[in-house]
């Protein structure tokens, strides 16, 4: 779906404040409420807006340890990648998983309460993932920049 300037303004506004009412959003993007609502609905229907969620402070709810886990697998096949993807998808501690190039094949972002919890996850689940050859854990010391809105400037 080609996005115009108004669509980009809608996306920018919703990335910053997903709970905006349609009236407030329409005001921000200089539309009347009805066309604004139609555009948001179209962006949702086309999958450009895939959902809405609250940003939660991890430490405030007891998830004080973030670990970036590099996984190297034996051999490469679509079947193996699919099996690993399914297994990782069932782990709530894994908040993101990426197929990457480089020394590792997959990069996982894991969020747990503490080191003991991560050790349990590593030993009981991660090392048992299909085809795992090597696992390297990188512990986040401090978050310098939390997840932020996507840069939409390239959309013309």
Q: How many CB atoms lie within 10 A of CB 7?
A: 20
Which domain does 18 fall in, by range?
5-45
Q: Is residue 10 part of a domain?
A: yes
- Are the CB atoms for 73 and 128 separated by under 8 Å? no
Locate tokens 């959003």: which residue? 25
* pLDDT at residue number 1: 66
- Are the CB atoms for 10 and 49 separated by under 8 Å? no
* pLDDT at residue number 108: 98
Same domain, 65 and 128: yes
* pLDDT at residue number 121: 98
Same domain, 18 and 86: no
Q: Which residues of the chain have pLDDT under 50?
A: none
* pLDDT at residue number 75: 82
* pLDDT at residue number 27: 97
Same domain, 96 and 64: yes
Q: Is residue 149 part of a domain?
A: no
Helices (H), 17-140: 22-28, 33-45, 78-89, 115-124
* pLDDT at residue number 86: 94
Which among 36, 82, 23 is positioned nearest to 11, based on CA atoms? 36
Cα dihedral 143, 149, 155, 156, rounded to 10, equals -130
- CA 92 vs CA 24, 31, 69, 138, 146: distances in Å: 34, 40, 15, 19, 20
Same domain, 64 and 131: yes
* pLDDT at residue number 78: 87
Which among 78, 77, 91 is positioned nearest to 129, based on CA atoms? 91
Q: Is residue 124 part of a domain?
A: yes
Q: Is residue 86 part of a domain?
A: yes
């Amino acid at each position: 779906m080609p996005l115009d300037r108004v669509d980009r303004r809608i996306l920018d506004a919703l990335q910053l404040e997903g709970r905006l009412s349609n009236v407030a959003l329409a005001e921000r993007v200089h539309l009347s409420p009805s066309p604004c609502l139609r555009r948001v609905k179209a962006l949702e229907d086309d999958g450009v807006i895939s959902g809405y969620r609250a940003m939660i402070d991890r430490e405030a709810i007891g998830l004080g340890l973030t670990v970036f886990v590099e996984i190297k697998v034996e051999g490469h096949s679509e079947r193996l990648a699919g099996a690993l993807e399914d297994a990782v998808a069932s782990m709530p501690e894994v908040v993101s998983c990426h197929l990457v190039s480089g020394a590792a094949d997959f990069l996982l972002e894991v969020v747990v309460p503490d080191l003991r919890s991560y050790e349990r996850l590593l030993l009981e689940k991660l090392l048992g993932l299909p085809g795992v050859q090597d696992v390297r854990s990188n512990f986040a010391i401090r978050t310098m920049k939390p997840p932020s809105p996507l840069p939409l400037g390239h959309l013309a």
